[in-house]
A and B are shown apart, each in its own frame.
Chain A
Amino acid sequence: MMTAPPVLSVRDLVVEIPTRHGVLRPVDAVSYDIHAGEILGVVGESGAGKSMTGNAVIGLLDPPARIVSGEILLSGQPVHTLRGDALRRLRGKRMGMIFQDPLTSLNPLLTVGDQLTETILEHLDITPSEARKRAVAALEEVGIPAARDRIDSYPHEFSGGMRQRVVIALALCAEPDLVIADEPTTALDVSVQAQIIALLKRLCRERGVAVMLVTHDMGVIAEAADRVAVMYAGRLAELGPVREVLTAARHPYTAGLMASTPRASQGHRRLRQIPGAMPRLGNLPAGCAFSPRCDHAQDRCRHDPGPTLDTCDGRAACWFPLASGADAIPDPEKETEA
């Protein structure tokens, strides 16, 4: 087990978008691994680069966005250099993608059966009738009742939760090693979200698929992920086992994010807030991108080039990581007492 290379290995990935106002870096020096049967949660606020990282892995960057350096290895083989047909054979076969909005990621003019068999026939060398059998099995596996009868239905005939199941079936029908789920439950209701998360976890466990789960919901991360990567302004702020990162954050941004999320145990007290907003990519501060919002920032944070996981302790990209359990943002109530 230990000798097998990780299913996905991203090394120093840099994505750039050239614009009239200069070159933007939505993904900057990002490195992580995902092993078979593991769910890596990727969290961050909008514009942090989490979806862009997923799109780069599966080769769906919209030009002019492009990978300028770093590498992406799928079971040890480089995929960031592939183009055209070679990439197409890989996509769907070895990497599956689940998008946020199940209505726009299915073709409204084809039945779900057509879409599934098309994908299966593209990647597996079997006959159309076998492909159809597999399609029914795939729908059954994701929990669609009466799959045999519903396979000839169109996407609009399914409810939102069922549609997302179809998308998951589509991502899994060619038995990929890696699934990238980009906000798979954001458009769904709480009860349906719980069903979809349970399904993803079961498939991951039973089939040993590696899953990259991109979301902004810390609750979903806590329940589903094994490890979590926190992104801020295109960089990894923190990477570690989910329990440690969420309960004892080392990066002030992670700690602030956790403290500003309302939760049941907190009651009616004021929420702590991180001052300001995430900087725009075209206007990043010198030094650590979080330094203008950080209470712990010192001169080094504002001037030295931004810290990365490698230049720091491998867990948090911060020159002065918090001792475990410390809070990044002073508690307003404690403050008034003092």
Chain B
Amino acid sequence: MSAIIRIDHLTRIFDVSKPWLNRLIERAPRALLTAVSDVSFEIEENSVYALVGESGSGKSTIGKIIVGLVPPSQGSVLIEGVDLATESDAAKVDAVRADIQMIFQDPYASLNPRWRVRDIIAEPVAARGGDTAGLAETLLEQVGLSAADAGKYPHEFSGGQRQRICIARALASGPKIIVCDEPTSALDVSVQSQVLNLMSDLREELGLTYLFISHDLTVVHHMADRIGVLYLGRLVEEAPRDTLFADPKHPYTQMLFDAAPRMDAFGRDVEPPKGEIPDAINPPSGCAFHPRCPLAIDRCSRERPEMRRLGDTRVACHLAE
């Protein structure tokens, strides 16, 4: 299999400074927030790649960069060999754009309340001047709703049904890649399982590739083929699903797995992890995790660890073995 998405030394810095006059008066320096820092990974065609991490880890920013909602500051994103940020051939860019779609977290906020479901679903095709006759009806049936729903408005649907509409819209342009940003976080458990099953079925039928962004380890474990763990904008570990869960190498991954509540751990008393995620504007020196890491040595605070390959795993830690 070949890589359909190749991300190379991707960095994204946001300027979150105060307005220049305030900075002048308060003598405050510019504040630069590094949301994504030197991240590289590849996504195989027809696989599910999951990004996990806590808030502020940069997982959503990476998703937005891939679909082109946010430009990268440094590094590149190649989708089917085309870099959308630099490619000059408009026809090529257009073709790749049509191959990539996104599903957002909140199905209440991501559907226009004034549009009928038919128009919402057909929009990605209509925007390119394609033929939309009967398209919405077919897609609605494909995602488990009925064709008659096309004339309704979003408020007439429950959360799970709305997420199905979002999925139908994402499928409209016949994409190869779908970026799913916390697609089931807003849904109840019994509805979540329906949506996850639907996504798995569609992937098999249509040969889709998913980038699955989530903070929920159980959902990621269920869906992903390969998982990347992010901490403060940096990729700290990446491995095939079973390898990662059986043998997490990075101390942060281990901490995350220990802290996640488990349904079979009745009355478990965990030693809760220490500290909190540091400020991304002033990240710690060296390895970003060293202030919270139980194993940290001197070197960790001085030198940022490179990604190393250990068997199937890639890990950014001086001490992992």
Q: Which residues of A contact B (CB under 8 A)?
A: 45-46, 159, 161-162, 189-195, 197-198, 201, 216-220, 222-223, 226, 242-243, 246, 256-258, 260-268, 270-274, 277-278
In the complex, are the beta carbons of A260 and B222 less than 8 A apart? no
For chain A, what secondary structure do more than half of its interface residues adopt (helix, strand, loop), or is it mixed?
helix
Given the interface contacts A45-B189, A222-B265, does A277 sit within 8 Å of B276 by beta carbon?
no
- Residues of A contacting B264 in the complex (Cβ-Cβ under 8 angstroms): 222, 263, 265
**Distance A192 CA – B263 CA, assembled complex (angstroms):** 18
Our pick among A161, A198, A270 for the contact of B200 (Cβ within 8 Å) is A270
Given the interface contacts A260-B190, A277-B158, A277-B191, does A271 sit within 8 Å of B276 by beta carbon?
no
- Residues of A contacting B222 in the complex (Cβ-Cβ under 8 angstroms): 262, 266-268, 271
In the complex, are the beta carbons of A257 and B190 less than 8 A apart? yes
Instruction: Check B96 for interface membership: any CB of A closer than 8 A.
Output: no
**Distance A243 CA – B264 CA, assembled complex (angstroms):** 9
CB distance from A189 to the nearest CB of B (A): 4
Instruction: Check B256 for interface membership: any CB of A closer than 8 A.
Output: yes
Give 3 closest A-B pairs by Cβ, nearest first: A219-B261, A260-B193, A262-B222
In the complex, are the beta carbons of A216 and B261 less than 8 A apart? no
Given the interface contacts A220-B261, A260-B193, A262-B193, does A194 sit within 8 Å of B215 by beta carbon?
no
Interface residues on chain B, size class: 35 or more
CB distance from A60 to the nearest CB of B (A): 23
| Chain B residue at minimum C-beta to C-beta distance from A199 | B272
In the complex, are the beta carbons of B197 and A270 less than 8 A apart? yes
Instruction: Check B262 for interface membership: any CB of A closer than 8 A.
Output: yes
Give residues 183-218 of B contacting A (CB, 8 Å): 188-194, 196-197, 200, 215, 217-218
**Distance A159 CA – B197 CA, assembled complex (angstroms):** 36
In the complex, are the beta carbons of A243 and B260 less than 8 A apart? no
User: Can you list 26 A-B contacts with CB-CB less than 8 angstroms, sorted by A residue number?
Assistant: A46-B159, A46-B188, A161-B276, A189-B277, A190-B256, A191-B259, A193-B261, A194-B258, A194-B259, A194-B270, A194-B272, A195-B272, A195-B273, A198-B272, A217-B261, A218-B189, A222-B268, A242-B267, A262-B218, A263-B262, A265-B264, A270-B200, A271-B193, A273-B190, A277-B160, A277-B190
- Residues of B contacting A223 in the complex (Cβ-Cβ under 8 angstroms): 261-262, 265-268, 270
| Chain A residue at minimum C-beta to C-beta distance from B241 | A268
- Residues of B contacting A197 in the complex (Cβ-Cβ under 8 angstroms): 261, 272
Our pick among B191, B192, B221, B272 for the contact of A191 (Cβ within 8 Å) is B272
